[in-house]
Amino acid sequence: MTSESRITVDGLIKRFGDFVALDGISFAVGAGEIMGFLGPNGAGKSTLIRILCGLLRPSGGQASVAGIDVASDPEGVRRRIGYMSQKFSLYGDLSVVENLRFFGGIYGVPRSALDGQVAFVVEMAGLQGREDSLVATLAGGWKQRLALGAAILHRPSVLFLDEPTSGVDPQSRRRFWDLIHRLGADGVSVLVSTHYMDEAEYCNRIALINRGRLITLGTPHEIKARSVAGELLAVEAEDVGRAIAALREAPGVRNVAVFGRLLHVVVDDAAARASELKARLNALGMAGVRTERILPTMEDSFVHLVGRAGRSPEGAA
């Protein structure tokens, strides 16, 4: 781990009773880096972020944020971070400005700077003209930008965002990610969790986690290249269950996964196998089978990696 790391996590473990929510996670985040945490429900994303914010005590391993150990000095950590929790947690019965002034006061933003900071955040979040609206009356995208604003009011060097864009329309999500990139450009280290696979592509690096384990870590490009060993075919067939069974037994097929109405099939050679597989399904009496060569997405990587990790835990990156 370099001395420039803003977040250092080493063998972090969190247990809730007998349940292991985080199972030996290690990674580091540098200054100005945007690190995405990608994983399904219950993977442990929120638990990890809460430990790094000093809200939960780690059961084992070490973690430091802005050079401070989260277990021994959680207060020191809290002064230096911004946090946006998964559940919206500003005060709905207070106005936009009242919320911002409240958090400004709590974080001890100097009085001389507070007005300027509030104005900056209002502008950044695109909330001009809504300064005095009660927060409960704002639409989802605006609430989330305001929550981000409240988290950076005191100019923290590390920012934790827990599924900041869930339940928000795609346009607002893009706008939100623009803000995150601006912060990264200013040198703020951002750790953001999401379960939107497409959002992962906006991060500098991604950590895939599942059931408390870090499955892989790298740039979006690296992960896709690394994880899907082979080429990818999208197959459309009527009887999905039977089609899966048949495809798994076909020569050259390495993995089959369901993506909505399609099957994503990893093969050694897409061009050669496409017609073979189609013929195989047709032979089983399935009509209207179509195949198409596609490029792997983050979701393919994820499915692939989770499948592999499930079979051999040590095999995870």
**Which residues sit at the interface with ligand ATP, rule CB under 6 A?**
16, 19, 21, 39, 41-47, 86, 195
Q: Candidates 30-38, 41-49, 63-71, 267-275 — which segment interacts with Mg ion by CB under 5 A? A: 41-49
By CB under 5 A, is residue 46 in contact with Mg ion? yes
CB of 7 to other proteins, least distance (A): 15
By CB under 8 A, is residue 53 in contact with other proteins? yes
CB of 83 to ligand ATP, least distance (A): 14
> Count of alpha carbons within 13 Å of 196, Cβ hemisphere only?
18
Name the binder of 106 from Mg ion, other proteins, ligand ATP, none, CB < 5-8 A by kind: other proteins
Q: Candidates 79-87, 194-202, 278-286, 297-305 — which segment interacts with other proteins by CB under 8 A? A: 79-87
CB of 147 to other proteins, least distance (A): 8
Alpha carbons 152 and 117: distance in angstroms, whole number: 9
Given candidates 31, 66, 94, 124, which one binds other proteins under the rule CB under 8 A? 94
Q: Candidates 86-94, 245-253, 272-280, 289-297 — which segment interacts with other proteins by CB under 8 A? A: 86-94
By CB under 5 A, is residue 95 in contact with Mg ion? no
- Residues with Cβ < 8 Å from 119, sequence gap 6 or more? none
Q: Would you say 16 or 259 has its CB closer to other proteins?
A: 16
How many C-beta neighbours within 10 Å does residue 276 have?
Answer: 16
By CB under 8 A, is residue 45 in contact with other proteins? no
Residue with tokens 């559940």: 87
Tell me how far CA of residue 25 lies from CA of 51, 58, 89, 207, 210, in angstroms: 12, 11, 27, 10, 11
Q: Taking each helix axis from N to C terminus, what angle separates 270-283 and 240-249, rounded to the nearest 10 degrees?
A: 130
Phi and psi dihedrals of 224, rounded to 5? -65, -40
Total of residues contacting Mg ion (CB under 5 A): 3
Alpha carbons 201 and 117: distance in angstroms, whole number: 30
By CB under 8 A, is residue 83 in contact with other proteins? yes
Pairing of strands 60-65, 68-69: antiparallel
Given candidates 42, 105, 251, 313, which one binds other proteins under the rule CB under 8 A? 105
By CB under 8 A, is residue 104 in contact with other proteins? yes
Contacts of the segment 117-124: beta carbons below 8 A, 24+ positions apart? 117/153, 117/154, 117/155, 118/153, 121/146, 121/149, 121/150, 121/152, 121/153, 122/96, 122/97, 122/149, 124/149, 124/179, 124/182
Alpha carbons 239 and 261: distance in angstroms, whole number: 10
Q: Would you say 47 or 291 has its CB closer to ligand ATP?
A: 47
Total of residues contacting other proteins (CB under 8 A): 32
Q: Would you say 8 or 47 has its CB closer to ligand ATP?
A: 47
Where along the sequence are the contacts to other proteins (CB under 8 A)? 50, 53-57, 74-75, 78-79, 81, 83-85, 87-94, 98, 101-108, 134
